[in-house]
Structure 1
Amino acid sequence: MFALRENRMTVVAGAACLGVFVLFVGLAIVALLSQTGGASDDALFDAYIWRVTRFTLLQATLSTLLSVLFAIPVARALARRPQFPGRIWLLRLMALPLGLPVLVGALGLIEIWGRQGFLNSGLRWLGLAQPVSIYGLFGILLAHVFFNMPLAARLFLAGLERIPAEYWRSAANLGMPSRALFRFIEWPVLRGLLPGAAGLVFMLCATSFTLVLTLGGGPAASTIEVAIYQALRFDFDPPRAIALSALQIAMTGLLLLLLRHLATEPEEGMTGGRTVRRFDGASRIARLSDGTWITLAFLFLGAPLVAVLITGLEADVLKLARDPAVHRALLTSAAIALASALASVTIAAVMIRAAATATAPRHATSLSHGFAGAIGASTSLILLVPPVVLGAGWFLLLRPFGDVARFAPAIVVAINALMALPFVHRILAPAMATHAARSERLTASLGIRGFDRLRWIDFPALRKPLSMALSFAMALSLGDLGAVALFGSQDMVTLPWLLYSRMGSYRTADAAGLALFLGLLCLIFTILGTANDSRPEGRKA
């Protein structure tokens, strides 16, 4: 009876989270639609929209392919080399681009790949007349791989580290070569994670905005997100913006539906919790291959960040550190990041648990499967609703109640929490599924429920993915500029908004110093969230 009541409460809590989620997004869209009588007749039929749609699909598809193809060998190399020197710092470095403000990352890439950057300076020194241009499609692809490859690699690595130690022992006893190991042990895990990771990266690239404006190089490299921004900011045509958002949702939704049908859930193997030891990385070819991929990843990710560090140190760092405006912005950013991250992780955990409970074999129905599907779809589709749309809608809703700045902190926290939800969901869902497969029957037979189960069973096993999800959400919120750009005021200035303001006023030295502060703060959050990454899952002290 107690178990039945607990399951019912779990499902109700998940339904409540889903309802609040849908209500928050729906009210914003309704507020925008209510501003005019109807949609623009030519919202989706002019040549410009079709051109940006084609470019959006092209750059998102190419960015996803490059990110995933780069991430798989990097994840395999890290999984096969669990103890090489500096592994923990490489993992923290791979978590850093996700939380970096886009402007900061773009600045670092320009310092390396730009016309006056390190690479082109070297090419000119070699006598090459045609330098590499970072602007246009090449720059957009480069930046998307920089920001999204580490995310895909960490998702793949987490799956590979959950492979039971017994699999590797059996493979070693059978003398399986490296190709067979990949085919029968690693690929089934990667195949189950691939649709979700690829869909997430595709949506991030399809909804890219700041990177396209910074590195696009002109109207020829515009995306649907840019067209949405122009419809709201310059034309103030909300129905057109909603129509464009609907086109974006339909376009990427079809892809997600296809990927969902292609996805295969890997069977969770039972394990006795032995220390994981792989036997497939001892050959010279394996060591050379793994070292090459790890080195390439380190240089590709580390060089732009080092460039940001160098330009930041050239600024008057001590003066910025004593600036009261920087102190207020730092405290505001940290408070918003912590609140939004806690909200996002809590909502994701409750919704994942509710979906698993509703689809349990004993009481699964078509309604419960629909409920679980709605939860999974909602965490993906939120990426397709631009923050500028949510912010503009809530700005219009709150304007009749007086000064909108009074509600700014709550709205910004809510938007950041929802924007982090897809990342948090993809980190927690596989880990919680694996944990449930290994512990659900035992805890049920022992009658361990409620807080005791959370304290003694769930939290110790899920501490690593929870800390990783929390750090990702905090870093993502810390680098947000979209929501703050609409609701920011003198009373609520974050570090990204202060950085943007200093850049807009041509105070480039201050902007470089603030970019350094943001990078260091993201690194601190990353270190806190990856404190246990030096030991893969399944390893014991």
Structure 2
Amino acid sequence: MLTNGERRRWIVGGGLALALMAALVLAAVVPLLVATAGGAEARSATFDTYIWRVTRFTLLQAGLSTLLSVALAIPVTSALARRRRFFGREWLVRLLAVPLGLPQIVATLGLLAVWGRQGLVNEALLAAGAGYPVSIYGLPGILLAHVFFNMPLAARLMLFEVERTPGEYWALAGQLSMRRSAVFRLIEWPAIARVLPGAAGLVFMLCATSFTIVLLIGGGPGATTIEVAIYQALRFDFDPPRAVVLGLFQIVLTGLVLVALKCLGGRAEHGGTSGRAVRRQEPDTALARTADGTAIALGAAFLLAPMAAIAVDGLRADLLRLLGEGAVWRAIGTSLAIAFVAGCLGVLLALVLAAARHAALPLAMRHASARAFCASTGAASSLILLVPPIVLGAGWFVALHGVTDVFALAPVVVVIINAMMALPFVVRVVEPALASHRARTGRLALSLGISGWRRMRLVDWPGLRRPLFVALAFAMALSLGDLGAIALFGGQGTTTLPYLLLQRMGSYRTADASGLALLLAIVCLALMTAGSLGTREEERPW
């Protein structure tokens, strides 16, 4: 419950936040549209065979990555759902969330250490006399990396839905002595199918907008996505017309995917149940235990091997020398400063949008304008999905070039892009926490006459402090590991830890790159761990 004054203030604040976000997006999109409409070079670039080839490859790798990630997630999900009690299960389920918070540049180094030309797999094959049959560069490497990041995400979403299955279902399956195949077909698969379209759409979106993975292991012009082509057009070829057309292609592509996700059916609800926890009772044979154990072991090894390689290679580096370099400390300081400011901005935007939407909901029943406002605040966090970071950066690069020193504004641009990049995850934490908090304390605060600043200080801050810190920690972890925006605007004046890592890789200083990767991974995972302490599963954005 809110007073009329509080309601008006939150709605006005939400309107200002929407206007700010719209202005930031339009400031990037409008220059792209203007350049396309007014430039013959941009119009002719639309029919460039290179652009169409890049677009086809973007769709191909995203489709294949989605298919592989979802297909491999299903047996892992089914095995974990059946094996509810074994040593390390809780940590293994938590491990499924680690790739989401691990910087892509760090994980890619780990994958290279395992699957690269001089990686563990090829060394084992060489020892067996098979030569070097595995090549991670090009499409196979892109698919491998995307599966590493997205298979755990899909498995986590599916496992959560399967474990929501009412206990009565399992009790009935036990009473009917249903075979394992029948249990999967009649109980597990319907639960998986409920989240499968949404999970597949999310994975496709993440793969279609992938930048760091393709930049590092794409393997040349034959394996380039739209976002990498935008970066190359601006930083290497300095071909703004081509970057403009590619940026518009990316917006159209992400827009179509978002529309498809919106059209997917809603989640089917279970009927009324007692809520009792019932142990699964389907027949358990040695063959079933072996199959489940194999699926779980292979999934765990696939995730753990690159992480272990990161740790081993990082510890082999001369960490003391790296920590004695001024460039490393400047990069760490710049990364933390950008991450903190971007995280605070993202949390503030999420809080204002969520509070404004909550304030306008009672009016939505009577006014169409209020319904439109609620829909706008709810969709605002998805703007970064429609206009990915590299497209935002390309638009601002085109707009600012010739007007001012583009690289001098790098910190401001990177902070804004990183804040908007984290917004979808931050909103997922802040909005449910705010709704629950207001439902618990709203009437009491109103009856006691506590409003305005006193309410925020005495009621809202104590109740929302923990979820806000969770959101801030995850937003900072995302910003720390981001390479998209800084790859366009970074330079000697603004160097973050991922950008420094990329520079060391480019100059073939692999030992230094491994040490920096370990430092970056430790900081990001520490932030994720600190954010998750004392929180429930549903409060986490991963």
Q: Does TM-score exceed 0.5, indicating one fold?
A: yes
* Residue 505 (structure 2) pairs with residue 503 (structure 1): yes
Structure 2 distance, partners of 1:256, 1:9, is 31
Structure 2 distance, partners of 1:16, 1:145, is 39
* Residue 24 (structure 2) pairs with residue 24 (structure 1): yes
Matched residue, 1:149 = 151
Q: Is the 8 A contact 1:155 1:427 kept in 2?
A: no
Q: CA 1:72/1:355 → structure 2, altered by over 3 Å: closer, same or farther?
A: farther
CA offset digits 1:402-436 (Å, max 9, x no partner):
6656643332211111122233345666x55xx95
Between 100-109 and 90-99, report the one with greater CA deviation.
90-99
Q: Is the 8 A contact 1:159 1:193 kept in 2?
A: yes
- What aligned pairs does 1:3-402 form with structure 2 within 5 A after superposition? 3-31=3-31, 37-38=38-39, 40-74=42-76, 84-87=86-89, 89-91=91-93, 93-128=95-130, 131-156=133-158, 163=164, 168-171=166-169, 174=172, 193-265=195-267, 267=269, 277=277, 279-280=279-280, 284=284, 291-355=293-357, 358-359=360-361, 363=365, 366-395=368-397
SS in 2 for 1:419: helix
SS in 2 for 1:41: helix
Q: Is the 8 A contact 2:2 2:359 kept in 1?
A: no
Q: CA 1:230/1:400 → structure 2, altered by over 3 Å: closer, same or farther?
A: closer
The code of the aligned residue for 1:209 comes to: F
Residue 307 of structure 1 deviates from its aligned partner by 1.5
Residue 131 of structure 1 deviates from its aligned partner by 1.3
Q: Is the 8 A contact 1:326 1:495 kept in 2?
A: yes
Matched residue, 2:483 = 481
Structure 1 distance, partners of 2:369, 2:189, is 33
CA RMSD of aligned residues (A): 4.0
Structure 2 distance, partners of 1:521, 1:74, is 29
Residue 27 of structure 1 deviates from its aligned partner by 1.1
Structure 2 distance, partners of 1:83, 1:537, is 21
CA offset digits 1:419-476 (Å, max 9, x no partner):
22233345666x55xx95x78766566566854664576667xx4xx66544432222
Structure 2 distance, partners of 1:215, 1:141, is 10
- What aligned pairs does 1:411-450 form with structure 2 within 5 A after superposition? 411-425=413-427, 436=435
Structure 2 distance, partners of 1:369, 1:428, is 21
Residue 101 of structure 1 deviates from its aligned partner by 3.6
Structure 2 distance, partners of 1:185, 1:282, is 12
Gaps of 5+ in 1: none
Q: Is the 8 A contact 2:258 2:386 kept in 1?
A: no
Q: How many residue pairs are counted as aligned between the two chains?
A: 523
Q: CA 1:191/1:114 → structure 2, altered by over 3 Å: closer, same or farther?
A: same
Structure 2 distance, partners of 1:160, 1:405, is 49
Residue 82 of structure 1 deviates from its aligned partner by 6.8
Gaps of 5+ in 2: none
SS in 2 for 1:135: coil
Residue 478 of structure 1 deviates from its aligned partner by 0.9
CA offset digits 1:241-266 (Å, max 9, x no partner):
23322222222322321221213045
Residue 154 of structure 1 deviates from its aligned partner by 4.0
Between 360-369 and 334-343, report the one with greater CA deviation.
360-369
Residue 98 of structure 1 deviates from its aligned partner by 2.9
Q: Is the 8 A contact 1:98 1:475 kept in 2?
A: no
Q: Is the 8 A contact 2:230 2:394 kept in 1?
A: no
Q: Is the 8 A contact 1:114 1:120 kept in 2?
A: yes
Q: Is the 8 A contact 1:171 1:181 kept in 2?
A: no
CA offset digits 1:90-138 (Å, max 9, x no partner):
4554333334343332222122122332223333444446712222222
Q: Is the 8 A contact 2:80 2:159 kept in 1?
A: yes
Between 475-484 and 74-83, report the one with greater CA deviation.
74-83
Q: Is the 8 A contact 1:17 1:347 kept in 2?
A: yes
CA offset digits 1:29-64 (Å, max 9, x no partner):
334566684252223223322222222111111212
TM normalised by structure 2 equals: 0.81
